[in-house]
Structure 1
């Protein structure tokens, strides 16, 4: 896809994420989340489903196939020949949503030949909007307002995220509010053994990718299960900033629309 077409699709994904965020907030501010549990014991709320409905209303118009956490996804035999597909998590961080701590996001990415080429991460509570065009090598951040029209300056230089200078004295490591485990703690101990001062930065959902992209953290080790829709949008935002999202074991870039949509453990830095 040429860059103007990518920005057109990126704008569509941004609009979808903001409208989905509004739908999520209506339920977040209500007394009833309608929480139930899936077969894997992960929670599902009305907000997950309503957000998915809103996003699908935008993306189905593109005729590009869609993989979403809340859709019944096609078997790999039907997916394996897709050159391009959407990857969607309508509400990433459902546990954070239920806890009402605000650290949940809407994630939308476009995948080409297994690689994220655009990504949107929207934070409904704070209205922070992160988005990236990987082919242009640009990530952006704005605060979305409640106005119907998106700002015309979405891709202006003033909205662009710029690489932050890293502190030579302290390594900031992203930890999960819900998933800190023994292997992560061991990784942190190894950094300390190398003589580094380590500071833990805790965040929920795909915000972990965003704070590394912003330079508010240096490294995000993930040695716990995630699905492709959890990571694709954040992966795009980090890649456009010149960062790597790599397989913990092989050091190769994470890939998408695999036969098994479960990610390997990974490292962002």
Structure 2
């Protein structure tokens, strides 16, 4: 079995280099522009970190494809057996609002399956990393701990992590049906999945169709390395083979113990909302 140790170490190093760049921009009065098509804000931090990460990955693994949010050509996933998915700044809104909850995502998919994941939050120097089937770790404040999702199976006892912005009706419906009473807010998709991976939360829903594979490749690998599950709202895993890049059916991240009871409830409301066929 391939260990992917070189890939993991290289991605961790590149993420930290990009994180240092983000913090340099973060400390300045940077300008904020809006992407075409209502795709949200973008800053020089996004574009400069994108260039740094893509160049470093191509240099380290010249035979691999790279799909990155701020790159113009994202056809590599359909042309390469091994493809990296990069979000150079997940949580640009958080970056703009200066609340620290943004992260760098660097994930590797092989044969359309997520394998290696690194999620790095520069503020606080928090790094999640893992290889699916081989375990993962979180590093913070000079300490390194193994990742393992919680074993909470009772839906009403689940701790839900939600976005700081945009609260959706579907989320409220799921919360009411499952009897969830514990919630916490967080920014980046990667940071949310990291909280699940270190058993600080148990469930995360992204009910908008406006996310992409670079948002979830690295977080899924980290979460799965810790024994968790990430699928669309219907319970079907996404593929990373280039057949589609947009997560049109939303995201459901959960610990394995509660997933069988949570997923059917989520799918029912998602179908009613028109997010699933």
1:37 maps to 2:34:
yes
Matches within 5 A, 1:122-133: 122-133=120-131
Deviation at 1:143, TM superposition (A): 2.7
Q: What does residue 106 of structure 2 align with? A: 108
Q: What does residue 48 of structure 1 align with? A: 46
Q: What does residue 239 of structure 2 align with? A: 255
1:72 maps to 2:72:
yes
CA RMSD of aligned residues (A): 1.9
1:186 maps to 2:167:
no
Q: What does residue 14 of structure 1 align with? A: 12
Q: What does residue 176 of structure 1 align with? A: 163
| Runs of 4+ deviating beyond 6 Å | none
User: For 2:228, what is the secondary structure of its paired residue?
Assistant: coil
Superposition TM-score, scaled by structure 2 size? 0.84
Mapped partners of 1:259, 1:18: distance in 2: 30
User: For 2:242, what is the secondary structure of its paired residue?
Assistant: coil
Q: Answer yes or no: is the 8 Å Cα contact 2:148–2:227 preserved in 1.
A: no
Mapped partners of 2:242, 2:174: distance in 1: 27
Q: Answer yes or no: is the 8 Å Cα contact 1:12–1:58 preserved in 2.
A: no
1:241 maps to 2:211:
no
Mapped partners of 1:98, 1:214: distance in 2: 27
Deviation at 1:187, TM superposition (A): 1.2
Mapped partners of 2:174, 2:119: distance in 1: 27
Q: What does residue 136 of structure 2 align with? A: 139
Q: What does residue 88 of structure 2 align with? A: 90
Mapped partners of 2:198, 2:166: distance in 1: 22
Deviation at 1:165, TM superposition (A): 5.0
Q: Give unpaired runs (5+ residues) of structure 1.
A: 146-153
Q: Deviations over 1:247-268 (max 9, x none)?
A: 212x221222333310121211
Q: Deviations over 1:80-129 (max 9, x none)?
A: 24211000000000000000000000000001111110000000111000
Q: Answer yes or no: is the 8 Å Cα contact 1:107–1:229 preserved in 2.
A: yes
Q: Answer yes or no: is the 8 Å Cα contact 1:176–1:203 preserved in 2.
A: yes
Q: Check 1:108–1:144 CA distance in 2 against 1; reply closer, same or farther (3 A cut).
A: farther
Q: Give unpaired runs (5+ residues) of structure 2.
A: 255-277
Mapped partners of 1:243, 1:252: distance in 2: 14
Q: Check 1:164–1:180 CA distance in 2 against 1; reply closer, same or farther (3 A cut).
A: same
Q: Answer yes or no: is the 8 Å Cα contact 1:191–1:198 preserved in 2.
A: no
Q: What does residue 211 of structure 1 align with? A: 195
Q: Answer yes or no: is the 8 Å Cα contact 2:82–2:109 preserved in 1.
A: yes
